[in-house]
Amino acid sequence: MIRRYHVVAIPIRIVVNNFGDHNPDGRMYVLKENESKVKELVRKNPVTPVELVQPLTIRANAGDIVEILFENQLPFAAGMHFQEADYNVLTSDGANVGLNPSSLADCGETILYQINTTNEGIYFFTDLGNVSSTEEGSNIQGLFGALLVERRGSWWTDPETGEALNSGVFADIHHPFLPSFREYAWFFNDEMEVDDLTGNRPINSHTNQEAESFHGVNYRYEPLHNRLRLVREGVVSPEVEGEEVHHDSWVFGDPATPILRGYKGDPAVIRLIHGASKETHVFHYHVHQWPRDPNTLNSEILDAQAISPQSHYNIIPLYGLGSLQGAIGDAIIHCHLYPHFEVGMWGINRIFDTLQDGSQCYPNGIPIAPLQPLPDRPVPPSPTIERPGFPNFIPGKVGCKAPRPPLGIVGGREMTELERNAAVPNARPGAVFVDSCLGNPVVVEFDVSMIELPIVYNKQGWNDPKGRIYVLDKDLDDVLSGKKEPEPLVLHIPAGSCIRMNFTNRLPHVLDGDAFQLVTRTYETGFHIHFVKFDVLVADGASVGWNYDSSVLPGETIRYEWFADTELKAFFFHDHLFPVSHQQHGVFGAGIIQPRFSQFFESRTGEETDHGTQVTVRNPIIPNYRDLSLFIQDFALLFDKDGKPLQPPDFPGSLADPGVFAVNYKNEPLQFRLGEDCDPAYSFSSFVNGDPVTPILRAYEGDPIRIRLLQGAQEESHSFNIHGLKWPRERPSNDTVLQSQQHIGISESFTFEMEIPRAGDYLWAFETEEDIWNGTWGLIRTFDLEVEDLIPLLDRPLPPPRTEPLPIVTGKPPALADPQSTLPPEVAHNAPIRRYRVVAFQTPIIYNSYGDHDPFGIVFALEEDVEDILSGKKNPEPLVLRGNVGDLVEVTLTSRLKFELFPFQDGIHPYPPVKEQAFYPPSLRISLHVNLLDYDVTTSSGDTVGFNPDQTVGLGEEITYRWHVSANVGTCAMWDVADLRNHRSFGTFGAFIAEPRFSTYHDPYTLESVKAGANVIIRNQFFQAAFREFVLIMHDGVRLVDKQGQLIVDPLAGTIPEADPEDLEVDTYDFGSRGFNYRSERLINRFREHPVLRDLFSSKVFGDPATPVFEAYPGDPIFIRLTNPSERRRSHTFHLHGHKWKFDPRELDSNSQSFIGHIVAGDAQDLLIIGGAGGRFNFPGDYMYRSGNIRWDIEQGMWGILRVHDQIQQHLPPLSNE
């Protein structure tokens, strides 16, 4: 059917909370029918939020045609670009790209868009007429929304009134034969302009400095700094500190941010959307879990999920609201990045157990709005005086902090009569209002304390004098006396266990002040857990909404009860009362729900244990394995051995990226690993520098391992890589793709299962430049012969007795590896051999036609292309090699690097910057590492790591790596590991593409056979078919100069029209220029030539961009190979207009989508375009591919074009002519 909406883009004052904070220059989409109403309401309510001011959320059904009449009342050309939709790019792209006619509307004009909604899901829309990242931009100021596409035959109603609904973030969705469900649209947005009541930037009343920038949900935020003012001014509970009551409705009433209301057991969907503009957030939803890909049963289960700008996910909580146990109460939903959480990026899922018909009030007298029960679910009981339902049975006092729970605190109180009426019959400590263990008795009990102690992070004496950690009570003496090294607490528990936790707060009342932080009275603390089943009212380890405060004071013990209903993975735990203040000091750990019947042993001694970051797991049914936990940390507030603070913020209490990085309370900075020769190529070598202090995960050759990857603190994205190993992305699936890199944000938890095929040292690293520079790396050490202090796995052959001594530190670089002496594991004896000769050398790289260039470029190229590049005949492109499944690929690498061609010969590399700058001179050695392929890690991984031989080459040397394409792994990232500081961002990266067997590679224009290149046709003898393959290498951290030779300090140099003076503070990892394939079409160059925002992507005005313009004919099969081998920590979103692909290309049931989120160094993706060029309907035209980060990627040149010709072009032979 055809559905029609008339949408208007309007300027609007957005009041973001009840304190009158507002954006005077907001912009939003609204239905025409609501336009005058919303304008009038805003005029009448200049300092309070107006409900209708929300991101526009409209709905349709799958299979509909949606016609949008778009009217623009903004002072610049604007439009609506729909993700996921099928549409004619010439008329309905909502942009002005390439050679297309503009589908933007000028100020005062209208345009009609026609959208096909083929699949259900989230069709995010935003503007591309004005992509400025400043307050003059559109997306950053709120101009985004979503078309939610439901199953065919659905209709929707207002959850309060039950009446039909045309727009709104909340709706009840109904269907003739499927269950009704609650639908909540949840739009994150960040960096929007916000002023306080006085028209000035908001002030943080704790630091008396300017507050953190806006981070909110649905145009609202509820920052601590506002609520803190009420405390400081004595309006509410003056005895509290602040952070611990931030989310407490007893003190402050409900927040202005969204409250998602439902009844216990209601099916629900949260449409999670990142509207704008910069940060990758982590969405965390207490109590509930959901499949990462709801379309397939083989999906991983999550309860925290990273989300990048302009991307979106369906969050379908398993078992409905309240989860399996049927919890009631307030489950907080928040961005887990603590600075964002503190500044207001949170809301609540409120689960009622009694009927709300509008006759009830919250404890503070505010009426509870009616909530229609879902028509196919039992009507909840009406509230009575004896059983008033949540929250009115809780004995709290308005204006004071929430009460402590009954029963839980040792020596604490019993239940009141109202509580007893509300409680389950077998109410007990930690499980009062729901039977969290579903009738199962407690079988595992832990006694854990939180303590403060100094922690030394490395051999150079970097230390945290105020480390705070969880410790088992039985280990307290050993840890405090120094007999046991502090490490994050990891508990091991068999699945199906009911767990009792007795948690004691042994912290001092006060966290002392220093260069990083102000004195904070962290007088109470809790034990908040993820994943397991629990009673959120009394065991959340938090103080949320109208719930109890389930934390304890110093010296007190509280009992919690949790149920591990099935084998989960590592569940994260941490404090929820003062995490912004002290989680970065070490307040985190994990429980691992292991398979039933497992037993756990210390890997060194063989003693049975129940905790530890490295254990050996025995199981009578499944193969035994090594279990290894890694926690990445940022904001580690460390001092050097002389007491000098490392990377202190501008003022104490600032959350602007203080401190450094670590893993499991340890780090091994590269600046201390130069060795006598001062050559970075040996920084990872244990021969030269000894083993790192960071975790060395130990196993025997052939052992299965499980890596538990977590992030303990505090704000930033990290990129975990293992060199030489790979694992399935969706662990429950046999079909899923393999990966060797994973993005992680705080509170996410991943389990990677794999076997270690061969002995050697494998590098694991959080491998963005600044992370690894500051020491976030370590080893997986695999032995082929027996060692004394590692028990073997009992179901594997015993390792042979040691016949040769273990290697020792020599202080000297190791000998060159001899890859010809070994073969990769499992390679066939007659494998076809494919040979490449690659040279690394320095050459300028021209990034665009405006003369932006890197005069100090370092590239990999095929030997036969070197002369053409050096003579200027060819502008270099990143090296893209290929091999077919089954091939043995031999890559011979030589180095022609010259010291005099490096920009920073004094060893100080100032730009783009990293934290803890230090002497690290450029290496003349170089290597080539590729991920996802198989090789002998001691000869062909391109790393000189641990006690492996040297795999880098210097002048006059050559090495021939042997790689085996063991599986159809698709895109693999390639980069140099010899010098990650002085090489990589100058261009020492590329890609390797694993093709199907029997494939041949051809130039798309001449059809001649080619050896390398980003744009090729792949023909396959077996399939008798061909496809176009476009390789996109997305990279950042580039040091460019303009044609006058002036350094370009991006991102601010590329900001349109010019950088906000208030944005002059840029995080270290945002610095540098960026683009695709050594090219960047920085919009500022175009804007200077023709300062018209709407034309910036137009080839009719500027010609085609310098970034790749890939060409195809409608319906051509196309494969996009996307990778980011280099190098900074800021995550990017990739989006291609008008096309979709499977989230998991191997999984038929997988969700289809038009974006890839949180792309960061090491990522490799395969985008098999559904329907081929032009999308499902094969519409010809120009389709933009780009980053989704309005701040700061698109302006800075991260975009290009996929051109789908409607007529045969002479220069481009069609695939069908072959």
Partner 1 sequence: MSSYYGNYDAVNTMHDEELLKHFQNGIGCRVFILSPSFPFMFIGEILSIVEDALEIFVETTHFAQLENRTWVMHIDNIEVFYIERPGEPRIPELNDLQ
Does 621 interact with partner 1 (rule: CB under 8 A)?
Answer: yes
List helix spans (H) across 1040-1149: 1083-1089, 1099-1102
Per-residue binding string, partner 1, 383-422, x by CB under 8 A, is: ----------------------------------------
Minimum distance, C-beta of residue 584 to partner 1, in the bound complex (Å):
37
> Among the candidate windows 353-361, 509-517, 596-604, 979-987, which touches partner 1 by CB under 8 A?
596-604
> Among the candidate windows 332-340, 472-480, 489-497, 795-803, which touches partner 1 by CB under 8 A?
489-497
597: CB partners within 8 A, 6+ apart: 494, 619, 620, 621
Number of residues that bind partner 1 (CB under 8 A): 11
Minimum distance, C-beta of residue 495 to partner 1, in the bound complex (Å):
8
Minimum distance, C-beta of residue 323 to partner 1, in the bound complex (Å):
16
Q: Is 1051 left (phi over 0), alpha (psi -120 to 50) or beta?
A: alpha
| CB closer to partner 1, 417 vs 753 | 753
**Amino acid present at 478:** D
SS3 for 663?
strand
| CB closer to partner 1, 67 vs 735 | 735
List helix spans (H) across 536-684: 536-539, 579-582
Return the half-sphere exposure (C-beta side, CA atoms, 13 A cut-off) of residue 201.
14
At 859, which helix (H) or strand (E)? strand 858-862
| CB closer to partner 1, 325 vs 842 | 325
Minimum distance, C-beta of residue 620 to partner 1, in the bound complex (Å):
4
| CB closer to partner 1, 599 vs 1000 | 599
| CB closer to partner 1, 111 vs 793 | 793
Minimum distance, C-beta of residue 721 to partner 1, in the bound complex (Å):
33
Minimum distance, C-beta of residue 289 to partner 1, in the bound complex (Å):
17
Contact with partner 1 (CB under 8 A) among 597, 651, 919, 998: 597
Minimum distance, C-beta of residue 51 to partner 1, in the bound complex (Å):
44
**For residues 449 and 381, what is the distance between their CA atoms, to the nearest angstrom?**
41
The dihedral sign for the CA sequence 223, 228, 233, 238 = positive
DSSP 483: S
| CB closer to partner 1, 62 vs 444 | 444
Contact with partner 1 (CB under 8 A) among 63, 395, 399, 496: 496
| CB closer to partner 1, 112 vs 495 | 495
Per DSSP, the residues of 311-346 read: -EEEE--TTSTTTTTT--EEEEEEE-SHHHHHTT-E
Contact with partner 1 (CB under 8 A) among 73, 91, 209, 599: 599
> Among the candidate windows 249-257, 594-602, 744-752, 897-905, which touches partner 1 by CB under 8 A?
594-602
Minimum distance, C-beta of residue 298 to partner 1, in the bound complex (Å):
12
The dihedral sign for the CA sequence 734, 740, 741, 746 = positive
| CB closer to partner 1, 45 vs 440 | 440
Does 1214 interact with partner 1 (rule: CB under 8 A)?
Answer: no
| CB closer to partner 1, 411 vs 439 | 439
φ, ψ for residue 42, nearest 5 deg: -70, -40
| CB closer to partner 1, 324 vs 696 | 324
CA distances from 1149 to 295, 305, 730, 847, 881 (A): 6, 20, 13, 40, 31
**For residues 282 and 765, what is the distance between their CA atoms, to the nearest angstrom?**
21
**For residues 651 and 515, what is the distance between their CA atoms, to the nearest angstrom?**
7
Structure-token match 């499992």, residue found: 826
Does 566 interact with partner 1 (rule: CB under 8 A)?
Answer: yes
1006 CB-contact burial (10 Å; exposed 0-12 / middle 13-18 / buried 19+): exposed
Minimum distance, C-beta of residue 188 to partner 1, in the bound complex (Å):
36
| CB closer to partner 1, 385 vs 621 | 621
Minimum distance, C-beta of residue 493 to partner 1, in the bound complex (Å):
11
> Among the candidate windows 168-176, 359-367, 591-599, 1158-1166, which touches partner 1 by CB under 8 A?
591-599
| CB closer to partner 1, 421 vs 599 | 599
At 350, which helix (H) or strand (E)? strand 346-352
| CB closer to partner 1, 497 vs 895 | 497
List helix spans (H) across 426-508: 476-480
Minimum distance, C-beta of residue 734 to partner 1, in the bound complex (Å):
11
Minimum distance, C-beta of residue 731 to partner 1, in the bound complex (Å):
15
| CB closer to partner 1, 415 vs 444 | 444
Minimum distance, C-beta of residue 65 to partner 1, in the bound complex (Å):
40
Which of 49, 13, 3, 435 shows the shortest CA–CA distance to 220?
49
**For residues 881 and 992, what is the distance between their CA atoms, to the nearest angstrom?**
5
Minimum distance, C-beta of residue 609 to partner 1, in the bound complex (Å):
13
Contact with partner 1 (CB under 8 A) among 410, 443, 656, 828: 443
Does 623 interact with partner 1 (rule: CB under 8 A)?
Answer: no
Does 494 interact with partner 1 (rule: CB under 8 A)?
Answer: yes
> Among the candidate windows 328-336, 491-499, 756-764, 1083-1091, which touches partner 1 by CB under 8 A?
491-499
CA distances from 49 to 108, 371, 708, 1005 (A): 27, 21, 43, 58
Per DSSP, the residues of 49-118 read: --TT-S-EEEEEETT-EEEEEEEE-SSS-B--EESS-B--HHHHSSS--BTSPP--B-TT-EEEEEEE--
Contact with partner 1 (CB under 8 A) among 75, 101, 606, 620: 620
Cβ–Cβ < 8 Å for 1162, 741: yes
Task: Please give the structure tokens belonging to residue 1199.
Answer: 């975009």
Minimum distance, C-beta of residue 21 to partner 1, in the bound complex (Å):
50
| CB closer to partner 1, 597 vs 899 | 597
Minimum distance, C-beta of residue 567 to partner 1, in the bound complex (Å):
8
Contact with partner 1 (CB under 8 A) among 6, 39, 596, 896: 596
> Among the candidate windows 493-501, 655-663, 677-685, 1068-1076, which touches partner 1 by CB under 8 A?
493-501
**For residues 233 and 622, what is the distance between their CA atoms, to the nearest angstrom?**
61
Structure-token match 């990048």, residue found: 308
Cis peptide before 391 (omega within 30 of 0): yes
Does 734 interact with partner 1 (rule: CB under 8 A)?
Answer: no
Does 497 interact with partner 1 (rule: CB under 8 A)?
Answer: yes
Residues that bind partner 1 (CB under 8 A): 440, 443, 494, 496-497, 566, 596-597, 599, 620-621
